[in-house]
């Protein structure tokens, strides 16, 4: 169905407005990271880059271990992502391709936990971490997020379409089940794993309430926590340095996104449509 | 297997147990023309379930237990339903729920409507650079909540923010976005809509692509305009996916935390207090874990009921059903 010219014009106008609105706050982060505080609080609002980025960055470095915190975010999100993808694939495979006692029940339990908000587990997790004396440690940031229900559900959906014949052929060749999984299944579902990987990475990166609860040592901060700590009412807030930090913190996300965006969008499709 | 052999040599009692295990381990289940040992599936799932039980299932159950206790680090006391009674009779809890209800009843429908229009526009056959529009509209999804909320802090600034600057052209005076109760709610509304509209549009777009073109063509033949076919074809066809988006948004709305925490701290007064902010205050500022756990379970129950009702409400009139 083709559209008339005025209709087309309307659609373009709408899309362009949508794009400007979507991009502007991110653009603003980068603009503000290059402005001094007095330029940020200026009327009319400045919308073009200044020359203060390095000064802002230096000022940020003097108040927060910004590179360390950036590395923390990358490290924590990276480890949890690898773990979620690996475990989810294994369990998803077992749920999709094997029959075993207790399968239905276990899958039901996993499904239920998807509907339960993360906050339901917050207090007991905090008590566990306290008991283990893990406050301010990487374990506290990583271990509770090594697995989750959504990943299993997602990978099971993906695995169900995996052709039985390929598995059969590998078994006939005398390949063990684990070998089959890693040599035959994994290479064929890499796109799904990438999709789950990027969803998990973004989700872990933006986890805020948990670091807020278990971390108060600034060398263990993640980027979101670092930004929020600089932005607390009651202190003198310097927005230039905060935006410099935000601008740096967005870079890994954009790199991951640009590299894997193809899988990201397909992952959101399949995570939703088949659900 | 080696572990089992060690157990064998250690005790007779263990031996009988391990021989049962061994016999079970040697059982196989058929799989087409080949068979595999029966323990294989469990080997795939056990590492996952060990972590899952400790860090997911145990906490879910423990929160439930805590909700009946008066928690203290010295030892907890069973108090029955008292925590639930305290939460339900606290006006602060109801205020936070009402604030969320506003978001649920107004923001979610508005956002889903914009997302649907956006998806339709992105699905239009005669639009060029579609991939670019899709990518850019999707950008907010990758920014973390703290970063975009801080950016919006300046955008909403009363004297220097770009939003008031733009509003000025409409002949409206400065709005104090974080100082006025309804403006503060609006601010949260805008931030959340900004973050999630593109995301929902992409999900809806995938649904649109499965709507057959013939439906629209026959509608045109029947003399239906664009607006009519949008409401009569697009929306009904998208119903299952709109429902999915609505459930996701409902669950997300009831867990709103970072945006109001940073932007308004629940203020002015309690105008933007959300249940999560309220429970966070009880749990991690007053360390009243029992009370916070009871609140969490009330909230989880509400989420469950709303999701169930949405699923029920959407049944019938469903093209796929």
Per-residue pLDDT of chain A (275 residues; tens, 9 = 90+): 556 788 888 999 999 999 999 999 999 999 999 998 888 888 888 888 988 899 999 999 999 999 999 999 999 999 999 999 999 999 999 999 998 889 999 999 998 888 787 888 999 999 999 999 999 999 999 999 999 999 999 899 888 888 888 888 888 888 888 999 999 999 988 888 988 998 899 999 999 999 999 999 999 999 999 999 998 877 788 999 999 999 999 999 989 888 877 787 766 666 554 43
- Here the CATH number for the domain that contains residue A172 is 1.10.3720.10
Q: In the predicted model, is pLDDT for residue B110 greater than 70?
A: yes
pLDDT of residue A270: 62
For chain B positions 85-114, those within 8 Å of chain A (CB to CB) are none
Ramachandran region of residue B80, left (φ > 0), alpha (ψ -120 to 50) or beta?
left
Q: In the predicted model, is pLDDT for residue B15 greater than 60?
A: no
Question: CB contact, 8 Å: A118 with chain B?
Answer: yes
Phi then psi for B67, rounded to 5 degrees?
-70, -15
| Beta-bridge partners for A233 | A235
Q: Give buried/exposed letters for A82-114 (b at 16+ CB in 10 A, else e).
A: ebbbbbbbbbbbbbbbbebeeeeebbebbeebe
**Tokens representing residue B285 in the block:** 């500022």
For chain B positions 33-92, those within 8 Å of chain A (CB to CB) are 33-34, 36, 38, 40-45, 47-49, 51-52, 54-60, 62-63, 66
Gap from A192 CA to chain B (nearest CA, Å): 16
Closest C-alpha to A162, from A189, A139, A138, A129: A189
Closest residue on chain B to A256 (Cα): B142
Which of chain B's residues have a Cβ under 8 Å away from the Cβ of A213?
284
Closest residue on chain A to B62 (Cα): A124
Beta strand pairing call for B69-70 and B77-78: antiparallel
**Separation between Cα atoms, residue A209 and residue B162, nearest integer Å:** 29
- Residue in A15, A36, A134 to test binding to B, most B beta-carbons within 10 Å: A15
**Tokens representing residue A256 in the block:** 């991951």
Residue B105 buriedness (CB in 10 A; 0-12 / 13-18 / 19+): exposed
A38 in a domain, yes or no?
no
**Separation between Cα atoms, residue B164 and residue B154, nearest integer Å:** 11
**Separation between Cα atoms, residue A158 and residue A260, nearest integer Å:** 18
Q: Say how many Å lie between the first and final Cα of chain B, rounded.
A: 51
For chain B positions 253-272, those within 8 Å of chain A (CB to CB) are 254-255, 257-258, 262, 265
Closest residue on chain A to B281 (Cα): A213
**Separation between Cα atoms, residue A119 and residue A199, nearest integer Å:** 19
Which of chain B's residues have a Cβ under 8 Å away from the Cβ of A128?
54-55, 59
Question: CB contact, 8 Å: B226 with chain A?
Answer: yes
Which of chain A's residues have a Cβ under 8 Å away from the Cβ of B63?
120-121, 123-124
Residue A121 buriedness (CB in 10 A; 0-12 / 13-18 / 19+): buried
Question: CB contact, 8 Å: B20 with chain A?
Answer: no
Q: In the predicted model, is pLDDT for residue B142 greater than 50?
A: yes
pLDDT of residue A205: 95
Phi then psi for A220, rounded to 5 degrees?
-110, 5
- The CATH number of the structural domain formed by B86-314 is 1.10.3720.10
ipTM of the complex: 0.90
pTM: 0.87
Phi then psi for B29, rounded to 5 degrees?
-115, 145
User: Any idea where the domains of chain B sit in the sequence?
Assistant: 2-80, 86-314
Domain extent at residue A233: 64-273
**Separation between Cα atoms, residue A107 and residue A111, nearest integer Å:** 6
Residue A134 near residue A140, CB atoms below 8 Å = yes
How many domains does chain A fold into?
1
Residue B197 near residue B115, CB atoms below 8 Å = yes
Q: Which residue has the higher pLDDT, B118 or B35?
A: B118
Helices (H), chain B: 2-10, 12-26, 40-52, 58-66, 82-88, 91-102, 108-123, 130-137, 145-155, 162-169, 181-208, 213-221, 226-229, 235-254, 258-263, 275-280, 289-314
A142 in a domain, yes or no?
yes
Helices (H), chain A: 5-33, 37-40, 53-63, 66-97, 103-115, 122-131, 138-142, 149-160, 164-172, 177-180, 186-188, 190-205, 209-214, 223-230, 239-273
Residue A32 near residue A239, CB atoms below 8 Å = yes
Gap from A173 CA to chain B (nearest CA, Å): 10
Which whole number is the average pLDDT over B161-186? Answer: 89
Asked if A28's CB is within 8 angstroms of B162's CB, the reply is yes
pLDDT of residue A15: 94
Ramachandran region of residue A42, left (φ > 0), alpha (ψ -120 to 50) or beta?
beta
**Tokens representing residue B48 in the block:** 């996952």
**Separation between Cα atoms, residue B145 and residue B127, nearest integer Å:** 32
Of the candidates A109, A143, A208, the beta carbon closest to that of B55 is on: A143
């Amino acid at each position: 169905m083709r559209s008339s010219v005025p209709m087309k014009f309307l659609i373009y106008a709408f899309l362009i407005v949508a794009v400007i609105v979507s991009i502007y706050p991110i653009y603003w982060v980068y603009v503000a990271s290059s402005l001094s505080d007095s330029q940020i609080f200026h009327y009319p609002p400045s919308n073009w880059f200044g020359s203060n980025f390095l000064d802002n960055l230096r000022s940020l470095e003097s108040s927060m271990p910004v590179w360390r915190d950036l590395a923390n975010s990358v490290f924590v999100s990276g480890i949890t992502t690898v773990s979620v993808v690996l475990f989810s694939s294994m369990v998803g495979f077992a749920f999709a391709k094997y029959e075993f006692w207790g399968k239905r029940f276990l899958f039901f339990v996993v499904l239920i936990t998807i509907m339960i908000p993360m906050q339901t587990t917050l207090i007991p997790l905090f008590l566990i971490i306290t008991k283990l004396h893990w406050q301010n440690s990487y374990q506290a940031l990583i271990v509770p997020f090594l697995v989750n229900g959504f990943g299993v559900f997602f990978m099971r959906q993906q695995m169900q379409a995996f052709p039985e014949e390929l598995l059969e052929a590998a078994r006939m060749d005398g390949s063990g089940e684990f070998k089959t999984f890693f040599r035959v299944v994994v290479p064929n579902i890499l796109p799904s794993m990438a999709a789950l990987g990027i969803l998990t990475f973004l989700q872990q990166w933006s986890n805020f309430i948990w670091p807020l609860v278990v971390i108060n040592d600034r060398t263990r901060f993640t980027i979101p926590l670092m930004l929020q700590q600089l932005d607390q009412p009651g202190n003198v807030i310097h927005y230039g340095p905060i935006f410099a930090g935000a601008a740096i913190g967005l870079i890994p996300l954009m790199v991951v996104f640009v590299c894997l965006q193809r899988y990201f969008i397909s992952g959101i499709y399949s995570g939703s449509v088949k659900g | 297997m080696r572990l089992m052999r060690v157990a064998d040599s250690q005790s007779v009692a263990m031996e009988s147990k391990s021989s049962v295990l061994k016999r079970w381990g040697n059982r196989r289940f058929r799989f087409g023309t080949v068979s595999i040992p029966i323990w294989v599936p469990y080997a795939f799932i056990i590492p996952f379930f060990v972590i899952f039980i400790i860090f997911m299932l145990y906490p879910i159950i423990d929160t439930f237990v805590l909700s009946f206790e008066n928690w203290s680090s010295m030892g907890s006391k069973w108090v029955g339903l008292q925590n639930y009674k305290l939460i339900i009779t606290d006006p602060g809890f109801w205020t936070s729920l009402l604030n969320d209800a506003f978001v649920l009843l107004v923001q979610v429908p508005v956002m889903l409507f914009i997302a649907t229009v956006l998806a339709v526009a992105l699905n239009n056959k005669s639009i060029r650079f579609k991939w670019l529009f899709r990518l850019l509209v999707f950008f907010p999804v990758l920014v973390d909540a703290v970063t975009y909320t801080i950016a919006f802090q300046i955008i909403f600034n009363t004297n220097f923010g770009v939003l008031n600057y733009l509003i000025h052209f409409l002949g409206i005076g400065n709005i104090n976005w974080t100082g006025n109760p309804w403006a503060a709610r609006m601010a949260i509304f805008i931030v959340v809509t900004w973050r999630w509209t593109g995301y929902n549009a992409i999900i809806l777009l995938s649904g649109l692509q499965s709507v057959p073109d013939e439906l629209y063509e026959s509608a045109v033949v029947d003399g239906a305009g664009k607006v009519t076919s949008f409401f009569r074809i697009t929306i009904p066809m998208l119903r299952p996916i709109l429902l999915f988006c609505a459930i996701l948004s409902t669950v997300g709305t009831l867990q709103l935390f970072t945006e109001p925490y940073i932007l308004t701290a629940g203020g002015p007064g309690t105008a933007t207090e959300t249940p999560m902010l309220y429970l966070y205050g009880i749990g991690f500022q007053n360390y009243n874990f029992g009370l916070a756990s009871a609140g969490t379970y009330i909230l989880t129950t509400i989420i469950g009921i709303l999701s169930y009702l949405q699923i029920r409400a959407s049944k019938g009139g469903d093209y796929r059903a």
